[in-house]
Amino acid sequence: MRIAVVGAGVVGTSVAWELTARGHQTVLIDRCPDVAQETSFANGAQLHAGHAAPWNPPGVLRDAIAWLGQPDSPLRINPLRVLRNPSWSLRFLANATSRRYRRHADANAALARYGVERTRAWRDELGLSFEARDSGILKLFDDPTALEHGRREAAAVESLGIRHRVLDVEATLAREPALSDAADQLAGAIEFPDDGCGDPLQFTAALARHLVAEGAELWLGTTARRLLGGPAGVEGVETSRGVVDADAVVVAAGSYSPSLTRGFGVRLPIEPVKGYSVTIPLQGTTGVPETPIIDDARKVVVTRLGDRLRIAGKAEITGFDLGLDERRWQAIRSQGLSRFPRLAEQLAQAPSEPWAGLRPMTCDGPPILGPTPVAGLHLATGAGHLGWTFAAGSARLVADQLEGRTCELDPTPYQLQRYR
C-alpha cells in the first residue's frame, strides 16, 4: 500500500519505519525542515514504563487548585484557554475516578512496557545510536506518605511485568551516590530496573536515515493543508508542495492532529500541555547522576545524555504558545539541580539551552492509535507525557490494525471508539 504519515515526530517517524519495514510505500510529511523538531526535540529523554499513569488521578482538581496559588508551581492554567475548550477539561476531570484512572493507568503501563521493548529491539536490530542506556530509573520521594503512595502505584502495575524495588535512604544513596550531598531531604526511592533513557531526537533522526535508505519518501518542509477524499474514505493529503495520493493516511501530528481530522468529522479530545526542558553541557564536572531521576516532590525529571544533562518539567494549559518564559525554565533548572548541590556549583556559569514543547494530551490518558470511522484514515496521536516511551510500540499497534492483523497487545484501550 502507499501510505502517507503526517507528522515526523518520534511517533510518526516510528509508524513510518514500521510500515516501510513491512514493505509498504511510505510518504512521511512534516512542515519542519527536519524530523523531531517539535515536541520530540528535547523532552525528558526517559523511557519510563514505571511512571506511565495519566495526569488525572482522583483528587487532581484539589491538587491543581493548591498548586495554582504557589510560586513556581508545576502547573499553570490560562482560564481563557480552558473556556475555549471546556469539554476537554470537563472530560479530563470526569476521568479522575478511581476506576477509570486505574483502567487508563494500566493501559498506559502496558503500552509503555511494549514501547520500551520495541525501542530496544530496533536499537539492536538496526544498530541505532541515540545515547541509550538501560540504566533503570529512580523515582525520589521526600515524604513517607508520598513514597507509600508511589509504592502502591508501582505494585498495581507489577502484574503487567513492570518490576520495581522500594529503597530506603541508604539503599538509594548506594544506588545513586550523586544524591549523597542532599540526602537529608530524602524519604526513599522506587527503582524501576527495566526502564532507561535515550535521546529521542537522535533516535528519530537515525530512523529517518533508515527510511531514506529503504526508499521511503520524506516530504520535509511541507505543510499538510487538508486530508483528501470523500464518503468512500481518505485518498491522500493536500500539502504546500502538491498532492500526496495514498491508499491510507496516518495522522501523527501531535497537538495539531485535531485540526487535520476535523474536516472528516473525526473529533479528537486532545489539548496541548506545554512543558519545558533545559539542557546543560557537563564537560569536566563530577557528581553527575548516572541514573535517570524522577523527582516526585519537585515534579521534574533529570537525565544524563552523554556529556549533557537534561532537566524537564512543568505543565501549562495555555494553548499553542511556545514562548520560553525564563522564570519557568530557570525554576526547573534550579529544582532539578537542587538534589546535586556540588554539581550545581560547578554548573553555575554553564550555558543553558532552554526549550518548550506541547504534549498532545488526551482527556483520559491513553493515546489514540488505530482506525477511525473514515476508511483508510488512521491515528497515532495523543501520547501526552509518554510519546517517546510509547512510540515504537504505538507504531506496531497502528501498523497491525492498518493491515488487519491481530495485535500483540490488546488495541481496544487505545482506539478512538472508546470515546463513543
Interface positions with ligand FAD (CB under 6 A): 6-12, 29-32, 37-40, 43-46, 223-224, 252-254, 256, 260, 275-277, 301, 312, 357, 359-360, 381, 383-389
Nearest to 279 by CA among 319, 234, 310, 244: 310
Q: Which is nearer to ligand FAD, 190 or 383 (CB)?
A: 383
Q: Which residues contact 219 (CB under 8 A, 6 or more apart)?
A: 27, 28, 29, 30, 239, 241, 244
Angle CA 264–268–274, to nearest 5? 135
**Which residue, chain included where needed, has cell 487505545?**
414
CB of 207 to ligand FAD, least distance (A): 12
CA distances from 378 to 1, 266, 286 (A): 14, 11, 48
User: Of 9 and 136, which has the nearer Cβ to ligand FAD?
Assistant: 9
Whichever of 74 and 254 has its CB closer to ligand FAD, that residue is 254
Which C-beta is closer to ligand FAD: that of 289 or that of 360? 360
C-beta of 291: minimal distance to ligand FAD in Å? 14
**Minimum distance between the CB of residue 258 and ligand FAD, rounded to whole angstroms?**
10
Report in angstroms how near the CB of residue 417 gets to ligand FAD at its nearest: 20
CB 312 within 8 A of CB 276: yes
Closer to ligand FAD by Cβ: residue 12 or 187: 12
Nearest distance from C-beta of residue 169 to ligand FAD, angstroms: 25
Nearest CB to ligand FAD, comparing residues 189 and 301 = 301
Q: In whole angstroms, give the CA distance from residue 138 to residue 289.
A: 10
Contact 76, 115 (CB under 8 A): no
Beta carbon of residue 14, minimum distance to ligand FAD (angstroms, whole number): 8
Q: Residue 34 CB, nearest distance to ligand FAD (Å)?
A: 9
**Closer residue to ligand FAD (CB): 11 or 268:** 11
Q: Which residue, 105, 139, 135, is CA-closest to 120?
A: 135
Find the shortest distance in angstroms from Cβ 38 to ligand FAD.
4
What is the C-alpha separation between 276 and 37, in angstroms, rounded?
A: 14
Least Cβ distance, residue 283 to ligand FAD (angstroms)? 23
Pick the closer one to ligand FAD by CB: 46 or 73.
Answer: 46
Residue number, 32 or 82, with CB nearest to ligand FAD = 32
